[in-house]
Amino acid sequence: MPGKTALPSREEALPGRAQRLTVSAKHAVSGNAMLPPFPEGMQMAIFGMGCFWGAERMFWKLPGVFSTQVGYAGGFTPNPTYKEICTGLTGHAEVVRVVYDPQKTSYEALLKAFWENHDPTQGMRQEEDVGTQYRSVIHTFGAQQRDSALKSKAMYQQAEPSWSGIAGCIDHLPWVCPGSGAVAVVPKEASFARAALDLALFHLHWNENSTQRSAVRLSRDSRVASSSAAVGTAAPGFLAVVSLLWFLSPDHITASAPRSHTGPVGKRELAKRQLGPITTEIQAAGEFYHAEDYHQQYLHKTPKGYCGQKGTGVACPICPAAEQES
């Protein structure tokens, strides 16, 4: 039986209607288009991560996002209303359609924001919001988005602990790049003493989780300095070397260690926090139905409105495409 936490079959779904809901032509925050056709070169992405009010606000604030719209997707009922969605008899999830400029951001950056800003392990709910419409979904456009989404899901499920400053997968400093291993980049704005401390922590953390005590390399462009200090070694010399290199570097220092170890890597973060396996659905994008106009940019129109958005606190180890190429 379909209901709050069970999806209906096509035969059980509500019939819906042929007429589309009317929404404003302009985004209430940016003033950009809400309806296609969008400017040439723009790309689209669709994410469901619980109540779409907070999710939309999170996405419209990201750099490179041209427009956002909330709606319903992934079910059977054509042009559903919000009231129908809440019955659980449409099969749709509440989603945000993100229109973005790939010259200014990347699909990977959107995926990173998606994973870090909700709990993708909760099945047919998101925190206090229970129902099939609140399930975690990614609807992809084309094979490249599908492959990126699947890869990011696997990476997030296997995410490991991170260190502040270098390893926390914060806005633009992810520490694990696909195919390359562990990478820590300290911004030049940090003091060299803080940079040295962060890099030393990275060094010790890496060696804690490796049976092969890989050397940590500190490099700037083609210049490389190596430290072969093992786990049990205190790091004052290492700190001094990093501090000196940082002081001499006008840009930034990268510390890297190849991920070729065979030893245990410690408990994965999602499991460590007693969270289950990721339940996010990843499927090809189908029809997107706009939600009612009052839902569009709701938290801009109602600044103190409800926002149930809450992440797991686990960083997503994914490199936005622009960083992988740099």
Active site residues: 51
Cβ count within 10 A of residue 200: 24
The Cα 108–Cα 18 span in angstroms is 35
Angstrom CA distances, 242 to 2, 225, 236, 237, stand at: 60, 9, 10, 9
On whether the CB atoms of residues 111 and 152 are closer than 8 A, the answer is yes
Residue type, 25: A
Joined tokens for residue 233: 């070694």
Name which of 113, 62, 120, 110 is nearest 273 in CA terms: 120
> CA-based angle 294:72:103, to the nearest 5?
90
Question: Could you tell me if 132 and 7 are in contact, meaning their C-beta atoms sit under 8 angstroms apart?
Answer: yes
- 32: part of which helix (H) or strand (E)? none
Look at residue 59 and give its three-state secondary structure: helix
Query: Would you report the helix, strand and coil content of the chain in percent, each value rounded to 5?
Result: 25, 20, 55
DSSP string for 131-196: SGGG-EEEEESHHHHHHHHHHHHHHHHT-----TTTTS--TT--SEETTTEEEEEE-TTS-HHHHH
Q: Which of 150, 151, 93 is nearest to 122 (CA)?
A: 93
Helices (H) and strands (E) in the chain, counts: 9, 13
